[in-house]
Amino acid sequence: MNNPAWWKEAVVYQIYPRSFKDSNADGIGDLRGIIEKLDYIQSLGVDAVWLNPIFKSPNDDGGYDISDYYALQPEFGTMADFDELLAGLHQRKLKLIIDLVLNHSSDEHEWFQLSRQGKKPYTDFYFWKPGTPDAPPNNWPSFFGGSAWQWDAGAGKYYLHLFSKKQPDLNWETPALRQELYKVMRYWLDKGVDGLRLDVISAISKRTDFPNTDTDDFNETIRKYYANGPRLREFIAEARTEVWNNYDVMTVGEGPGITPQNALEFLHPQQGLNMLFHFGHMFIDQGPGGRFDPIPWTMKEFKQVFETWNATFQQAGWGSVFLGNHDFPRMVSRWGNDTLYRQESSKLLCTLLLTMPGTPFIYMGDEIGMTNTTLTSMAASLDVETQNGWVQARANGIPEAEFLKYANYAGRDNARTPVQWTADSHAGFSTARPWMPVNANYAQVNVAQQQADPQSTLTYFKNITQLRKRHRVLTHGSYKSIETTHQQLFAYEREWQQEKLLVVLNFSDQVVNLPDEVSAYPVCLITNYPAVNPGLLQPWEARIYTYKV
């Protein structure tokens, strides 16, 4: 393996700027707040930062509704701040990945305003359909509840919005629109950005004959109608030729609806994306109604998702590994035990993240085991998806107390509470009241306290990240799962160039026996417990064994 692409060797740290660090006492995280924390980010041992959208936006969907692709969100700072942040990252040998939202714009973007006035060439920058105010063109549901079609009285027709009604879908069938988006990409790549995270890239080609969906299963509707459209591969290939091939840039596509069977179509070495976020595990507990229709999941299913996707990416392409982000509950609350075993299970999840094939993406705060928050009333939710979900639920007669259970289990507010830096007021995030309340446990869970504690999740995260770098078998090695049916144990082997590692993870509150395979591995490299019991795994214990072949 001579000089593999940097993004294959990288560990990526995801920052949701609004909730990371406030530098100017307005209660909102900003770019100068990130600049203040560059040494902290570097101390983690990560190699790149992914910033959620930083562009001008009415903030209907946390910045994923962009009204000017060439301007920064004013409350985040100035272009000079951006340039200083980029320089600060590069000085520390850190790469910057920005988040481009190209499946839709804000309805406050001038393109949309000109489009709805029927001004060429903007008319075809979006999907407009005739109809009457009470009869949408088809039965497509929005990701955010209700119809995916909005009647625009001024224009006298409907427009498509797979997400909120303030996020009209951009019509990639229109060449002039694609050229405008390529200009946006070049502008930010010319500034020296190292990577692009491409929001919902799987949906830029959709079923533009707009048939009704024939399924009540929302994730099936995404797969069959919104994503994987007939020109998806062509559009990605064109972006490669028109833009990406002219830069040293990494592209990672967010691919809801993409499957193990078709993923490699979009990861072609010359014509595709470099990497993909798949959602096999992230939808594992979503029933037909989507996020707020939770269903039980099993360890067997969870392991199967990794087995299937690792097998896909062993053939070709390159995967990403994540267990949480700004769209999902905190990983320790969702997959671990955030009460009795918060520290152990957050360390175990970091172990999985850093020992799986594919580029690991760690979400800010997960390196210290931040947990879900608790909404005590729906008025407290600041997320459009959760608020719209509540509108739907209330219309269906679901009481607030019941919907709050779903929102607190699966909602996106969980991931957007401010990062907990210290035990001081507002958790050291700001000297003003934060835009979103800090999690009540900030005095117990914060960076300052963990930096001083050799047994903390933060210390463990740094150690496991260094271990991944020392043992390149974890980056380039094969994957072989063992114990595929065991309901508590997740164990797998990695092998590359005469080194074999065995990872054993006890995803339970119970003590479990070690798998027989351990007997072949004389050396335990790391455990998340103070001592190693030779025969048993403690609750939420993670171990990595090695031997030289």
Known catalytic residues are: 199, 254
Query: What is the three-state SS of 165-189?
Result: CCCCEECCCCHHHHHHHHHHHHHHH
CA 44-46-50 angle, 5° bins: 115
Does residue number 303 form part of the binding site for ligand ISL (CB under 6 A)? no
Does residue number 163 form part of the binding site for ligand ISL (CB under 6 A)? yes
Pick 223 or 500: Cβ nearer ligand ISL: 223
Task: Say how many Å lie between the first and final Cα of the chain, rounded.
Answer: 19
CA–CA dist 61, 167 (Å, integer): 8
* Beta strands at 250-254 and 275-277: parallel, antiparallel or unpaired: parallel
Does residue number 220 form part of the binding site for Ca ion (CB under 5 A)? no
- List the one residue from 86, 101, 236, 526 that touches ligand ISL (CB under 6 A): 101
CB atoms within 10 A of CB 242: 16
Please identify which residue in the block is written with the tokens 């040998």: 93
Please name the residues in contact with 394: beta carbons below 8 A apart, sequence gap of 6 or more. Answer: 400, 403
Does residue number 235 form part of the binding site for ligand ISL (CB under 6 A)? no
Per-residue string for binding with ligand ISL, 423-452, x by CB under 6 A?
------------------------------
In angstroms, give the least distance from the CB of 199 to ligand ISL. Answer: 5
Pick 330 or 471: Cβ nearer ligand ISL: 330
Q: Nearest residue by C-beta to ligand ISL?
A: 64
Three-state DSSP at 140 gives coil
Does residue number 169 form part of the binding site for ligand ISL (CB under 6 A)? no
Select from 446, 460, 474, 453 the least CA-distant residue to 528: 460
CB-CB contact of 384 with 412 (8 Å) = no
Q: Where are the beta strands (DSSP E) in 133-284?
A: 149-152, 157-160, 195-198, 250-254, 275-277
Three-state DSSP at 233 gives helix
Pick 258 or 489: Cβ nearer ligand ISL: 258
Taking CB under 6 A as the criterion, which residues in 118-157 touch ligand ISL?
Answer: 143
Please name the residues in contact with 483: beta carbons below 8 A apart, sequence gap of 6 or more. Answer: 489, 490, 491, 515
- List the one residue from 28, 185, 249, 258 that touches Ca ion (CB under 5 A): 28
Does residue number 168 form part of the binding site for ligand ISL (CB under 6 A)? no
Taking CB under 6 A as the criterion, which residues in 322-361 touch ligand ISL?
Answer: 326-327
- List the one residue from 13, 64, 125, 492 that touches ligand ISL (CB under 6 A): 64
CB-CB contact of 510 with 525 (8 Å) = no
Does residue number 285 form part of the binding site for ligand ISL (CB under 6 A)? no
The binder of 30, among Ca ion, ligand ISL, none, by C-beta within 5 to 8 A per type, is: Ca ion
Pick 101 or 501: Cβ nearer ligand ISL: 101
* Residue 270 in tokens: 């010359």
Determine the interface stretch with Ca ion among 15-23, 126-134, 440-448, 465-473 (rule: CB under 5 A): 15-23
In angstroms, give the least distance from the CB of 478 to ligand ISL. Answer: 29
Taking CB under 5 A as the criterion, which residues in 280-339 touch Ca ion?
Answer: none
Size of the site for Ca ion (CB under 5 A): 5
* Beta strands at 55-56 and 542-548: parallel, antiparallel or unpaired: unpaired
Does residue number 256 form part of the binding site for ligand ISL (CB under 6 A)? yes
Does residue number 22 form part of the binding site for Ca ion (CB under 5 A)? yes
CB-CB contact of 389 with 145 (8 Å) = yes
In angstroms, give the least distance from the CB of 279 to ligand ISL. Answer: 6
- List the one residue from 47, 169, 194, 385 that touches ligand ISL (CB under 6 A): 385
- The H helix count followed by the E strand count for the chain is 16, 22
The binder of 327, among Ca ion, ligand ISL, none, by C-beta within 5 to 8 A per type, is: ligand ISL
The binder of 111, among Ca ion, ligand ISL, none, by C-beta within 5 to 8 A per type, is: none
CA–CA dist 335, 506 (Å, integer): 12
The binder of 22, among ligand ISL, Ca ion, none, by C-beta within 5 to 8 A per type, is: Ca ion
Does residue number 55 form part of the binding site for ligand ISL (CB under 6 A)? no
Is the bond preceding 121 in cis, omega lying within 30 degrees of 0? Answer: yes
In angstroms, give the least distance from the CB of 19 to Ca ion. Answer: 11
CA–CA dist 308, 320 (Å, integer): 14
Q: One-letter amino acid identity for 544? A: I
Determine the interface stretch with ligand ISL among 58-66, 109-117, 237-245, 481-489 (rule: CB under 6 A): 58-66
CB-CB contact of 422 with 446 (8 Å) = yes
Does residue number 172 form part of the binding site for ligand ISL (CB under 6 A)? no
CB-CB contact of 227 with 276 (8 Å) = no
Does residue number 26 form part of the binding site for Ca ion (CB under 5 A)? yes
Q: Is 224 exposed, middle or buried (0-12, 13-18, 19+ CB in 10 A)?
A: middle
In angstroms, give the least distance from the CB of 15 to Ca ion. Answer: 14
Determine the interface stretch with Ca ion among 20-28, 80-88, 468-476, 529-537 (rule: CB under 5 A): 20-28
Q: Which residues make up the interface to Ca ion (CB under 5 A)? A: 22, 24, 26, 28, 30
Q: Which residues make up the interface to ligand ISL (CB under 6 A)? A: 61-62, 64, 101, 143, 163, 199-200, 254, 256, 290-291, 326-327, 385
